[in-house]
A and B are shown apart, each in its own frame.
Chain A
Amino acid sequence: MGSVEAVLEVLERSGFERLPKPLTVVGNEFDFEAAVSGTNTSHDLVLVASNQVPARRLQRQVAGLARSLDLASSRRPVSLVHIGGVTATDRAELERYARVLPIASSAPGEGEVENALAVLLPLKLPNADLVHGSDPVNEVLGSLGPVKSTGEHFSLIRASADGPAAVREALRRFVNEGAGWTDEVEVDDA
């Protein structure tokens, strides 16, 4: 049952909690290998089954569960994690009652489990720092290194805050000044 346990661990990590076995719905007991329920803002019911269970039996169990939930007017969404391969026909049959999240291998790795269960797991979103990065100016200074971080370099970088035209103007003045050019008066020919 290692594979079922692996699935459960992934689910539990994501805020699901195990339901006692056997799963009891309005008094009816269903012998699934494992079942978990969402917490807080989730009320998903997730069933875990492996290919150890014959397909027909699994179908009956899932159908029965669905029927029981209907009887109880429960609007819980039901997902079935199926470990170890399922035929298309069997899967189609199962999907009449629940979302089927198949895991092809019998002993899946954590990645495979997470992929299969992705729809149940919180989305992995980047944190804001990562997206927006650090200050690009620091990045530039880092790239320049201490030797090249002179006042001249920095004055050009500073102009970038006001846009390309400001940088271009800073460059123009900077270079013109080096060439002995001043905008106000003609070049001193002396």
Chain B
Amino acid sequence: MHDLPLQKLTVSDFRRIEGTREVPLDAPIVLIHGPNGTGKTSLLSALELALTGEIRSMERQSDRYRAHLPFFGQPYATVRAEVAGYLQNGAQRGPLTVNGSLLDGTPAFSEAAANFYAERCYLDQSSLGRLLDLYQARLSTEQTALEKFVNELLGLERLDALRDGLGESNDLRLLKKLAVGVDEADRQSREAALSLKDQSSRLSELNNEIATAREALRSAIAEVHPGQFDGADDETLLGFVTSTLDKDVAAIDLATAKRVHNELLALGGRISSLASRPRTRLAQETRTALMESVGALDAWEASGAKRVQDWQSRARVLGVESGEDLRAAVERAIVVTLEELDADERARAQTESAGARVESERAKLEELSTRMAQAHEQSSALVESLAILRPDLEDTSICPVCDRDFSEVSGESLLAHIDSKLANLSAHGKLIADLRNERDELTAHIVESEIEYARLRVMVLSPDHLRARRDRRNTLDALLSEAPVIQAEMGNGVEIHRRVRELRQTLDELESVASEERYIGNELAKYADLLQISIQPNPNSFESAFASLVGPAEARIDRLNRDTINSRKAGEESVRLAAARERHSAAIRELTAAVKRKSQWDGRIAEAKRRQAVAREVYDAATQARATIVHRVFTESLNDVWKTVFTTLAPNEEFIPSFGIPSATKKTFDIKLETTRRDGGASGPPQMMLSAGNLNTAALSLFVALHLAVDPVVPCLVFDDPVQAMDEVHIAQFAGLIRLLAKQNGRQVIIAVHERELFDYLSLELSPAYEGDELITVELGDYADGDGVTRHQWTPDHAIAR
């Protein structure tokens, strides 16, 4: 029994199961009995958790279901399943510990086995009643469980991949989004078409432009060279313009003509100014007059000039500068001389009076000096003597000199007498001092008078000088008398000089005019020759000759101007024509390119569309293949299995549930459940056609059928109270089916039931049938006897005689 998928389950503190419970599962059939509330479902949930790591029916209710898994009051629950080696998840071992936040350890099954178990092996109680709905429930756009199953079963992944991947080939717009090259080719083709159109219209525009430019060029050339190029082709016209343009003859001619005209105008100015100048015919007269004047000049130089020079040299000796007015100059010199003579006379008189004054003063000084010497002699000797005597006279009245008693003579004392004598003598001294002062002043005055005298003496002329002055005065008088004659002679000379000079200037001017006339005559002749006009220029006809040349010169400029403009226009038009021709040939090249490009891109589009068609063929073939496979699998396989299982359970039911064969062209199956009558006719959906009991049967049979229809990854089936809504008959049929599945189809079966009777019945029905066969019953709750586990071994049955 070691190849049975499920071997043993150990559960601790899991939901309703308190403490640890070990449940052996190593029998082909395990029957679990427990009244409601004894942990029957808990056991199967624990089994799912231990095998797969999750409990899907609970997860559908709440994604936080794990928080409720530990037995009330316990921190966590542990579960552990032992399974067949080939289903194990690597080298797992140890229990799975779980609570709200924790899931520790690894599930017993590998991922593939776990998935298979959850989907194809374990039918939980809550799901059975809703199985048909669950299978058909669609979560948003995902596949339903049935569709998923069918898709996996059919192995249509490659076909779907093909159809999915080639989907865009059915719609060119979608295909363009996928393969941008197609869109690009389309765009390029449209662009090429547009470009083609553009180039065509551009070409016709250019043709017009060429025609216009050609006409303009022709008319411009015809203006300059009429008739010369009628009917010439474009190349000839362009070639001509190019060659003439290169030389630029017109422009050079025009510049020359303008220069000639300007020079002519300048010449006109010279002709006009000539009119106001003297005529050359006066030249001879002037020359004669000049000769005469030169003769007069020579004569004057020989006589008059000499007289004048003589007078002037005499005057110059006397310091007279002879200006315009000779007489006035001489008179000024005479006045000066007279003034000098007068001054001399005055100086002589003053000198004489000054000498006399010095003489008188000197005499006066002499006298004064004598007086002073006398006074001085007298007074000073007496004073000295008296002064010596006086001390001796204080007490006496006897005169020391005469020894006489003074009292005899006078009543006053001698001493007083002396003192009065001394006082008189002091007054006499004052007189002497005054004399001395007077003498000093006189002496100073004499010095001043002598200086004045000396100064005046110097101012007096010496006799030689006086004589020279008087001679000079006489000479000046003589010059004065001659001055009027000399003055006239000088005026005469000046006049003759002026006339000679004027005549010479006139002669020069006349010669210059003659030269100008010659020049103008030559120039006029030159321009006449240049303008090819015949004239005979002479000084009298200069104006008319000029007039006859200016007109043609202007006309020539006008003509050359027009030629230049036309030439330039021809140049411009030729450029335009050449450019237009250039563009025209470029446009033709582009047009050719556009045609080529368009056909290239059209070809690519055609190729892309051909490839699209190839893809569509593959797509259609995949669709066809899919339809074939789907039809085959559904009709020949799925529905047959379901029918077999359903019939086994409900042999008398008139309506057999089946899959409506889905439209194979759609990628996702829109799988409908329907019923068929036993005679093969189609009927309504099972929910409508079957009784509640048989609807359950349909669901159960569908679950079993789906399990049987695929490769049994995990060959076991686990049911939680699957027969609740079944009547006796169906229960019997179900028991028979389980027996078939267990004993003939090699599936390990675990069933949990809550009814005692049913448990007993199934224990009997599912009892071991052959050597090695075994049934394990597990009783939970009050019925439990010991651990409640009973192993029923096969024993040979000899009740029936053979």
Contact = CB atoms under 8 A, between A and B. Distances in A.
Contacts of A152: 611, 614
Nearest to B625: A139
Interface residues of A, number: 85
B632 A24 contact: no
Interface stretch (B12-20, B179-187, B396-404): B179-187
A155 to B, nearest CB: 10
Given A136-B155, A157-B162, A165-B165, A187 B618 contact: no
A153 interface: yes
Contacts of B155: 132-133, 136
Interface string A130-169: 1111001101111110001010110011011111111111
B625 A172 contact: no
Contact of A131 (B153, B607, B773, B799): B153
A1 interface: no
A20 B745 contact: no
B169 interface: yes
Given A137-B158, A176-B179, A95 B729 contact: yes
A152 B611 CA distance: 8
A53 interface: no
B178 A42 contact: no
Interface string B614-645: 11011011101110110011001100110011
Contacts of B645: 123
B709 interface: yes
Contact of B621 (A45, A92, A140, A162): A140
A112 to B, nearest CB: 9
B735 A77 contact: yes
A29 B433 CA distance: 229
A185 interface: no
A57 interface: no
A24 B645 CA distance: 33
B743 A42 contact: yes
Contact of A174 (B180, B611, B628, B629): B611
Given A77-B765, A133-B629, A181-B185, A171 B168 contact: yes
Interface stretch (B349-357, B568-576, B647-655): B647-655
Nearest to B593: A190
Interface bin, chain B = 35 or more
Contacts, number: 273
B175 interface: yes
Interface string B646-672: 011101100000000000000000000
B799 A181 contact: no
A122 B615 contact: no
B584 interface: no
Contacts of A130: 632-633, 636-637
B691 to A, nearest CB: 15
B621 A144 contact: yes
B166 A43 contact: no
Interface in A91-149: 92, 95, 99-102, 115-120, 122-126, 128, 130-133, 136-137, 139-144, 148
A189 interface: yes
Nearest to A15: B744
Contact of A175 (B181, B597, B637, B709): B181
Given A170-B165, A176-B180, 16 more contacts: A19-B800, A24-B800, A79-B736, A101-B651, A118-B648, A126-B636, A133-B632, A143-B624, A156-B615, A157-B162, A157-B622, A160-B622, A167-B166, A173-B179, A178-B608, A180-B607
6 contacts: A25-B800, A42-B744, A123-B644, A165-B165, A176-B180, A187-B188
